[in-house]
Amino acid sequence: MTITIGSRESALAVIQSEIVMAAIRKAHPELTLELLTMKTTGDRILDRTLDKIGGKGLFVKELCAALREGRVDLTVHSCKDFPMEEDPDLPLTAFFRREDPRDVLVLPQGQTEIDFSKPVGCASLRRSLQFQALYPQAQVAPVRGNVPTRLRKLDEGQFSALILAGAGLRRLGLEDRIYRTFSPEEMLPAAGQGILAVQTRADFDLSLLACVDDPDSRDCARSERSFVRTLDGGCSSPVAAYATVAGSTITMEGIYVDEANRLYRGKISGPREQGPALAAELALQLKEEASWAEK
């Protein structure tokens, strides 16, 4: 039996797909796995920020089409980049064990402190707002491209620093570029950050994916995505959501950002099986808090 895995063609996307493929091969040596890479619309358009061209859904459009047409059997995504609304015919069916979800600061090669005379490169409003709360003197400018492209721009002197997801750097073997790791208290991660999500057609044999489906990652991802979805946010939205589990309890932290870019933060805990409902409850609480503040 041959299974074809669809992936974006960037180095990080390929490595992430290979991580999932290695786990499947180990559990199912009888399977033959093939990788099919493709360039997505989001990879092609690099001169505008994602909110100006349709959001991060542009990174999955071609992959979803390949899955629907049967050219691939499953696709691997960074969960944080996958649209919050799922097509029931093409569901997310497995969530790989979470890598460290924290954001990190990267400096140019040889530098040991931030030069605030230059902008900090950041493609996320969520990160920008939280970073400027820590460093009010900083100027933040958008930066697009894959991780190696962003690092090249940094080392060429276009930026004083970059804010990136530490998980991506570690998977690329570039953890030595990390200057500082932000705690969740300093910078709350994006929903699903650090988790690899596997997407299939609804009729796929899910028993083949039990080896790559981590219960903790699944419960956290579902809860974090529920928080963002309740606020009508997408994966380009500035809201932040981070869940942790301990035994039978899940704790959800979230940030809601109003139209004036004011941040409202809260936390809620309860039975892990109620994670998505608890996340939605927290989202509504923060939204109500923001509406009262506006009055």
Q: Is residue 190 part of a domain?
A: no
Task: Indicate whether 245 belongs to any domain.
Answer: yes
pLDDT in tens, the chain (295 residues): 899 999 999 999 999 999 999 999 999 999 999 999 997 655 554 454 545 444 455 668 889 999 999 999 999 999 998 999 899 999 999 999 999 999 999 999 999 999 999 999 998 999 999 999 999 999 999 998 889 999 999 999 999 999 999 999 999 999 999 999 999 999 999 999 999 999 999 999 999 999 999 999 999 999 999 999 999 876 567 899 999 999 999 999 999 999 889 999 999 999 999 999 999 999 999 999 998 887 6
Tell me the CATH number at 29: 3.40.190.10
Indicate if 232 and 295 belong to the same structural domain: yes
Output the pLDDT for position 198: 98
Q: Is residue 186 part of a domain?
A: no
Q: Active-site residues: which are they? A: 81
Domains: count for the chain? 3
**In-domain check, residue 188:** no
The whole domain housing 282 covers 214-295
Residue 27 lies inside a defined structural domain of this protein: yes
DSSP assignment of the chain: -EEEEEEESSHHHHHHHHHHHHHHHHH-TT-EEEEEEE--HHHH--SS-HHHHT-GGGGTHHHHHHHHTTS-SEEEEEGGGS-SS--TTS-EEEEPPPPP--EEEE--TT--S--TTSPEE-S-HHHHHHHHHH-TT--EE---S-HHHHHHHHHTTS-SEEEEEHHHHHHTT-GGGEEEE--TTTSPPPTTTT-EEEEE-TTS-GGGGGGG--HHHHHHHHHHHHHHHHTT--TTSS-EEEEEEETTEEEEEEEEE-TT--EEEEEEEEEGGGHHHHHHHHHHHHHHHHHHHH-
pLDDT score of 87: 93
14 with 77, same domain? yes
